[in-house]
Amino acid sequence: MSSDTATPGTPLAPFGARLRAAMDTRGPLCVGIDPHPGLLTAWGLADDVAGLERFARTTVEALAGQVAVLKPQSAFFERFGSRGVAVLETAVAEARSAGALVLMDSKRGDIGSTMQAYAATYLDKDSPLFSDAVTVSPYLGFGALRPALDAAAISGAGVFVLALTSNPEGAEVQRATAADGRPVAQLILDHIAAENAGATPLGSVGAVVGATLGDVRVDLAVNGPLLAPGIGAQGATPADLSGVFGPAINDVLPSVSRGVLRYGPDIRALRDGAERFTDEVKAAVDAAR
C-alpha cells in the first residue's frame, strides 16, 4: 500500500480513502515518532541532532514499510532548531516514499493569516513538511480552522481535530457545556461530522479521542477517522477500544509510541512490536463487530 506519493502535479486521492485502504491493508495502527530525551538515552544515543537523526532514520527504516501511519511529534524535532526541522523534513519524505501515511502531530491552532501559514506549512504539496494529515486544535473556534480544512481538501490531505483528549486538564474545556447545551467535545464532533457528510469510504476530517477514556458520553459517528492515543505506555490496551468507541470502532486508528519505540534501536524488534500491537487491535475490532 503506497501513501500515494504520485508524480508531481498529480492530485492525491482524498486522505480518508487513502487511510481506509492503508488500515485495511496494513492494519489499523499509528506509531508515533517521539524522540524525547529519555528514549534517545534508552537507545544509547546522545541528546543531540546526530542522535535525533539516527533515531528518526531507524524508526522510519523499521516501520514505514509496515504500518499504516507514522506520526512524528514535531516538538521533539523543533527543540533542536533548524537542524532538527531538517531531520523532520527528511523523515517525512522517507516515510511517505516507503509507503506509510504521515500524520504530523503539531496541534496547531490560530486565526486568519496565521492559520493559513500553518496550513501552507503542512498541507501544501510544495512544502518540504507536507504531510498526509496534521493535528489541529479547534479551541479558538472551529471556524478558525477553515484555512487548514480548505488546504487539506485541495491537496488530498487530512486534518485531525482535538475533540476529547485523555489528559485531565482537557476536561475543563472539552467537557464544559456550550451555549446550546451540548458538551464542547460534542460540538466539535458535530462540526467534524458536517465536514465529512457524504464522503466515502471515509471522510478526511478526523477527531482525536483518547483511548484511555472509559466514560465517553458523546456521539462518535463522524464518518471520519478517530485517532486514539493512549495505547501502550499511557495505560490503554487494544481490548479497551470497544468500551470507548462502541460501534465506531471500525474507524478507530489507535496510536502507540513508547509501547513500540521501547524496542529500539533493534529494527527487527521494532517491527515485531508494531506487528503485535496491530494483531491485537485487529482482534479487538473483529471481536466488537
Res 11: pLDDT: 76
CA distances (Å), origin 198, targets 8, 30, 37, 206, 220: 28, 25, 44, 14, 16
Which fold does the domain 15-284 belong to in CATH? Answer: TIM Barrel (3.20.20)
Q: Which pTM value belongs to this model? A: 0.95
pLDDT in tens, 149-197: 999 999 999 999 999 998 889 999 999 999 999 999 999 999 999 999 9
Distance, in Å, from the CA atom of 182 to the CA atom of 144, rounded to the nearest integer, reads: 20
Confidence band for 231, pLDDT divided at 50, 70 and 90: confident
Going from N- to C-terminal start, the domains of the chain cover: 15-284
The span from the CA of 267 to the CA of 135, in Å, is 27
Segment 52-104, tens digit of pLDDT: 999 999 999 999 999 999 999 999 999 999 999 999 999 999 999 999 999 99
Among the options 71, 107, 125, 282, which is catalytic?
107
Instruction: Give the three cell numbers for residue 125.
Output: 504539496
Residue 107 falls in the annotated catalytic set: yes
For 237, left (φ over 0), alpha (ψ -120 to 50), or beta? Answer: beta
CA distances from 69 to 10, 66, 132 (A): 22, 9, 9
Least confident range from 13-17, 72-76, 111-115, 238-242: namely 238-242
